[in-house]
Amino acid sequence: MSGPPNRRVPIRVWQLLLAIAFLLSWEWGSRSGALDSFFFSRPSDVLVRVWGWTVTGSIWPHLMTTFVEAALSFAIGAVSGVILGFALARSSFLAALLDPFIRVGNALPRVVLAPIFLLWFGLGIWSKVALGVTVVFFVVFFNTFRGIRDVERVIVDNARMLGASERQLIRHVLIPSALTWIFSSLHVSIGLAIVAVVVGEYLGASRGVGYTIAQAEGVFDTTGVFAGMTVLAAGVLIVGAAVDRLERWLLRWKPERADAVL
Amino acid sequence: MSPASGPSAITLRGAARRFAGYTAVQDISFEARSGRFVSIVGPSGCGKSTVLNMIAGLLAPSEGAVEIFGVPLAGINRRASYMFQQDALLPWKTVLENVRFGLDLRGCPGRQAHDEATGWIERVGLRGFADRYPYQLSGGMRKRVTMAQAWIVKPDILLMDEPFGALDVHTRLRMESEILGLWTEAKQTVVFVTHDLEEAISLADEVFVLSAGPASRIVGRYPVDLARPRDLLEVKLEPRFHELFGTIWSDLRQEVLKSYERSA
């Protein structure tokens, strides 16, 4: 394991080795008593638990619930963010009028809304969706706004000289420009949507991965907590890979990725 | 292509344009007759683009009037195409989609737009590049796409704002020849803005000189009586070219010096 990184060995191998080293030392630590296995569990137990959940199928409804909630919050948050972002970018009066309210809304830590949403929308999925929407909305809103405001003047002028009406300008120039920003923030907004709904589930639900984790925590089952985290991380990685592919295809005209505003 | 409505394609009468706090151009009286290739030269920052934008209808004059084929201009000039100095292609459209863009905006049937655009892509020497995106092309190739995009809509007037400023000398010469070739076929009215007097003389029928900004005016108007068709490599060797250059340069030089003093 010593010596400089070898170019013939792909970075993936090194990454895998690092992960294995981490898990082995964790395993060793908890078996030798250096780590208290009550608080830290051990990788082999977590693995067995995840495997158990998978083969009995008991985890699927929870995972499904979490991802449905995240998908709904993303869809609703993105659509409302695009619409409002578009409206404000096109109307400086609206932008000036709503600016302080949007600032206040964005400054509010979204977690504090969870209890109120629980009261309003109940223990079902909609209180989590509402929380997710408040997170996704702002990311998409700011990126849409910026995308439309940042469109290059000369491209707009060129389209107008070539005969574009106001509506054609929106379709051929403004929307594609905004999409760049929206899609480059896709990772962030989907990740945040999942975080928000899991937090919502954790605070009060009858289903979902967040609920599973909260249940395990309630009985001091650290193995269950780690297993819930593992399942969630795996799910997020798979969604992330899918988003990556979609993004690469949609932004194929771009030489490199734009940085999104968070 | 040349309309029966009269010999004047573009007329500016006493046009001025002010921006917050300063006057960019003033008292611009300018005429380009139909089918003529007209150049506007002047030191940098003298408001050449402002004049062009007023003809394009992208800027309304603060004073005076713009007439296009005898009709007062209101809003965008629908009879003109514009080749911008900067990169103005739509980066999310392929070469083909960019070239056919003007036809698509006019509701031209898809098949016809495709065929015409393909024809233009070949004409500007980009066969095989139809499916590339602008970022995958060199600067010269992007300019060719821009040319096809501007020309495909068969405009009566072509406005060019230092279109080849960013290109290397050789590419530039080739593009100028191609512009002249296309113009010789279609005979639109061309207004070509540049700070390069050699380029202006070798291309144009007539050269207008703008004074140093702010508040630039037209300080000279020179017909260029060099024979056509012109070979751009040869024309610069002709004695008449040097005479014209000397005459116009003596005026232009003062303006360039003034603009140096003001910016120093």
Of A159, A161, A177, the CB nearest to B80: A161
* A255: closest CA of chain B, how far (Å): 6
Of B88, B93, B101, the CB nearest to A154: B88
Distances B181 to B1, B112, B174 between C-alpha atoms, Å: 16, 24, 10
Domain with CATH 3.40.50.300 in chain B: 8-79+156-263
Which residues on B lie below 8 Å from A160 (Cβ)?
58, 76
Give pLDDT tens digits for A96-126: 999 999 999 888 888 888 889 999 998 889 9
- Say whether pLDDT at B37 is over 90: yes
Within A33-59, residue ranges assigned H as helices are: 37-40, 43-56
What is the model's pLDDT at position A245? 87
Which residues on A lie below 8 Å from B81 (Cβ)?
161-162
B48 contacts B42 by C-beta, under 8 angstroms: yes
Name which CATH class applies to B8-79+156-263.
alpha beta
Nearest residue on chain B to A249, alpha-carbon basis: B92
> Within the 92-151 window of chain B, which residues sit less than 8 Å (CB to CB) from chain A?
92-94, 101-102, 105-106, 133-135, 149
- Say whether pLDDT at A143 is over 60: yes
- Say whether pLDDT at B2 is over 50: no
What is the model's pLDDT at position B170? 86
* B90: closest CA of chain A, how far (Å): 7
* A193: closest CA of chain B, how far (Å): 28
| DSSP for A102-116, written as a single string | HHHHHHS-GGGHHHH
The CA distance from B91 to B83, in Å, is 16
What is the model's pLDDT at position A8? 75
Locus of tokens 């908890």: A30
- Say whether pLDDT at A77 is over 70: yes
Give pLDDT tens digits for B88-113: 999 999 999 999 999 999 999 999 99
* B105: closest CA of chain A, how far (Å): 6
What is the model's pLDDT at position B6? 47
> Within the 174-233 window of chain A, which residues sit less than 8 Å (CB to CB) from chain B?
176-177, 180
What is the model's pLDDT at position B145? 94
Burial B106-145 (b: 16+ CB within 10 A, else e): eebeeeebbebbeebbebbebeebbebbbeebeebbbbbb
- Say whether pLDDT at B3 is over 60: no
B221 contacts B208 by C-beta, under 8 angstroms: yes
Which residues on A lie below 8 Å from B84 (Cβ)?
154, 157-158
A137 contacts A113 by C-beta, under 8 angstroms: no
Residue B5 CA, chain-centre distance (Å), reads 23
Mean pLDDT, residues A186-210 taken together: 89
| Predicted model pTM | 0.78
Mean pLDDT, residues A187-194 taken together: 87
What is the model's pLDDT at position A3? 52
Residue type at position B125: G
Tokens of B83: 């080749």
pLDDT, chain B, mean: 89
Which residues on A lie below 8 Å from B149 (Cβ)?
162
A47 contacts A231 by C-beta, under 8 angstroms: no
> Within the 63-102 window of chain B, which residues sit less than 8 Å (CB to CB) from chain A?
76-78, 80-82, 84, 86-94, 101-102
Give pLDDT tens digits for A161-187: 999 998 999 999 998 888 888 887 888
Give pLDDT tens digits for A229-254: 999 999 888 988 888 888 888 888 88
What is the model's pLDDT at position A185? 80
Give the sign of the dihedral formed by CA A135, CA A137, CA A141, CA A144.
positive
Preferred mutation among B49, B55, B105 to probe A, highest tally of A CBs within 10 A: B105
Within B57-168, residue ranges assigned H as helices are: 95-99, 101-105, 110-123, 139-151
Interface check for B56 against chain A (CB to CB < 8 A): the answer is yes
Locus of tokens 């020309």: B151
Nearest residue on chain A to B98, alpha-carbon basis: A159
The percent of residues above 70 in pLDDT, for chain B, comes to 97
